[in-house]
Structure 1
Amino acid sequence: MSRPTSGRPISAKPVPVVVPKLSGYVFTEKLGSGTYATVYKAYRKSGCRQVVAIKCVMKSSLNKASTENLLTEIELLKKLNHENIVRLEDFQWDDQYIYLIMEYCSGGDLSNFIRSKRTLPENILKRFLQQIAKAMQYLHEFNIAHMDLKPQNILLTSHLNPTVKIGDFGFSKHLFQGDELHTLRGSPLYMAPEIICKGKYDSRVDLWSIGVIVYECLFGRAPFASRTFKELENKIWDSKPVEIPYGVNISESCRDLILRLLKRNPEERITFEEFFTHPFVDLEHCASNESLSKAVNIVANAVKKDQNGEYKEAIKLYCDSLEYFVPAIRFEKDEKKKEAIRVKVKDYMNRAEELKKLMKPKRPPPPVNGVKRTISEDPMEELMELCKDNEELTAAMTLIKAADTENSQENYEQALKHYELALSTFIKYLKEEKPGRRKDLIGKLSHGWMDEAEKIKTFLSVREMKTEDTSATEEENEKKFFDNEKCGIQ
């Protein structure tokens, strides 16, 4: 029996998606869409065929608030010029659309990147955070608050070794001294408690949002992930302090920064100035076009100290220069120049190691084969004899002999400990001891022991200074991390 032709359901034809058209550009693919805008990847028809991202806003979708947001975004982006802020190339309009022609970031957004990696190692997070902090420092100088910082609004310039850039300034606001806002702005999961629970806030809300982003990068989820807005409100206004997940190993400086950013009370939250100078953020040693010149200036002073025989100061300066050379190597894009810097750095660090060896304490070995000088020939033996009637002084002399032996065997930590213990006893007795041969010998020999202890202390302090250029290893590890097929960014 044939199927009836009447009354059967008719499949609805899909409504074709109308892609906006803009003279001079070819639209290739949709990158994302929001409440009133869609972003497309495109390229210029003429010239070098530059790839751009075009944010297309349908005029008919704009109400008064969204129009104000769009105008704010255009106004801000026109004047902002920073390597970590998405650049506005141009803007145009026609009867249907307003077009924001933006810098294209091929690496997608931080939200997708976190999702593909699950969590980010601390060194990658730190690099991203430094770049976010530099952008925020720039905005702070113009009294601009972003108001909608979240991983979706932080873009990556590429898949490999990306730079991060802050985008989407639709909620941004010029703030002036004493300004307070009352309009609900931003995304609930990244909103500061004062927005959700009080509706009264200022630029410090951006610091809270950065704290949430850092937390999510490290632990794979936001600190107050919730299914409903009410649940989020209850969690965010709970009196319990934010907790770092148990069993996750992060540095103390990183832990300190997270907990200070995620203070519910904005009066207790870290300030912008404190954030920019925090040891984990460490903007001073962030990779930039100034890193190399700073390193060269420091190393020039190191060479001068070296030539003048001021070895301790020279070693310190050589090592200080490394803290700028490493980010300089990271910042440099030309592989030949990178390698040339590495060669020079290796020479400087080799010299620092040579100076460390020159500073190594030199102490004659103790007598061997039972050969022993007489009391009259050896002030140490004479003092040992004079201290026989005092147990505390005898013990101190025993410690000195042990320290001398440990010093000659290059067991410097133990030698320093024994010198310092013995000297504390001798100094006490010098104040109480009556004038005489024993007091004279203690005074005379103590100066030598103090000098020896100071040499060891100085050597130990310079020995621990870092003289290894780890930039090549770090870059290789990061390349493996970004190349990992789990990345999933297309």
Structure 2
Amino acid sequence: MDLKPENILLTSIEKPILKVADFGVAQHIGQQGSRSIRGTLVYMAPEILSSYPYDNRVDLWSIGVILYECLFGRPPFVFSTVQQLIDIIKSNIPIEIPNDAQISPECRNLLENLLQRDPNQRISFPDFFRHPFISIDLLPQIAHADNILQQAINYEQSGDLKKALDYRVQALDEYLAIIKVNEDTDQRRMLRMKVKQGVVVAEDLKKRIKETTTNSGLTPSLTTTTSLSPSISPNNDLDINNDKELFDAYQHCLNGNQLMNAFMFAQACEEYEIGLDVMLRVARTETDPTKIKVLRNVISHYLNKAESCKQRREAQRLDLAIEKIKQDSENDVTIMNESIDEEKKQPSSLQQTCHLQ
């Protein structure tokens, strides 16, 4: 409910993938709709400003405003005050598209259908994705996801389980994105099966990685590594009380320990990196052999900690990604079941078709 250009990210300049960011006001709207006012005013659908419940069709209006702005360099409204903008959005005056605009008939048709003030007259989500201006061939995307999955299989066969898991999660994420917009029932069924099987394999890879790591001793327990942490003090000829830069660097590493024990691995890695950068720079300019030895011991310790932290961060990232895939997969099945139930409730379209003929 807060779609706007600032929240749309492009993964690259060439053949970009669009991603929606900033979910500060994002929420799932149930069948009963919502009455709260959310979103950025310029891109806000008329029904949000009314006293009536609204549903996810407000996003289609926002897409229309964004498309209009992309085409003409400005929103479809001319206003000088906030109240004037609100009045324009709530009015019944149709949105005008410049007659001399050099846009295709398909583009004009989509824009007109998106910018319908009455949500019941607005284009539906299925029709939006099937629209000639939007509809795309999904076969190349499926082939791309299949290629990622094959790379995951290759890495697993070569024994690189971490890369195998990473690529498999990427493939599953791609499949789920395709399922959401794919109208082909057979393809959706096939992709759902791939996701279901892929999650099982991903969980097995996680288990195998954990067993391998534990047996190799690459990631010792947090309590053990913390208790053996070397210190910098007058007792080891490297008093940092008079060296603020080195003192702060050491504190960053200690902060990394605390964050790591709290399983906040991403933040812990940042703290270790900041502290180690300073320590390494100081070690390169230090001339006292004794101090260099002490400092190198501390650096070596925290380099090991940082490496362990990176491994845990990556494992945590993949855990979260797999859980999200599971949730998205469950939601997809739920939506599919709701759609089937809704179709069962609808009267047969046969009589309606005959009547129209």
Q: Name whichever structure is richer in helix by fraction.
A: 2
For the pair shown, which has the larger CA radius of gyration, 1 or 2?
1
Q: Name whichever structure is richer in strand by fraction.
A: 1
TM-score calculated relative to the size of structure 1: 0.38
Of structures 1 and 2, the one scoring higher in RCO (CA 8 A, sep 6+) is 1
TM-score calculated relative to the size of structure 2: 0.50
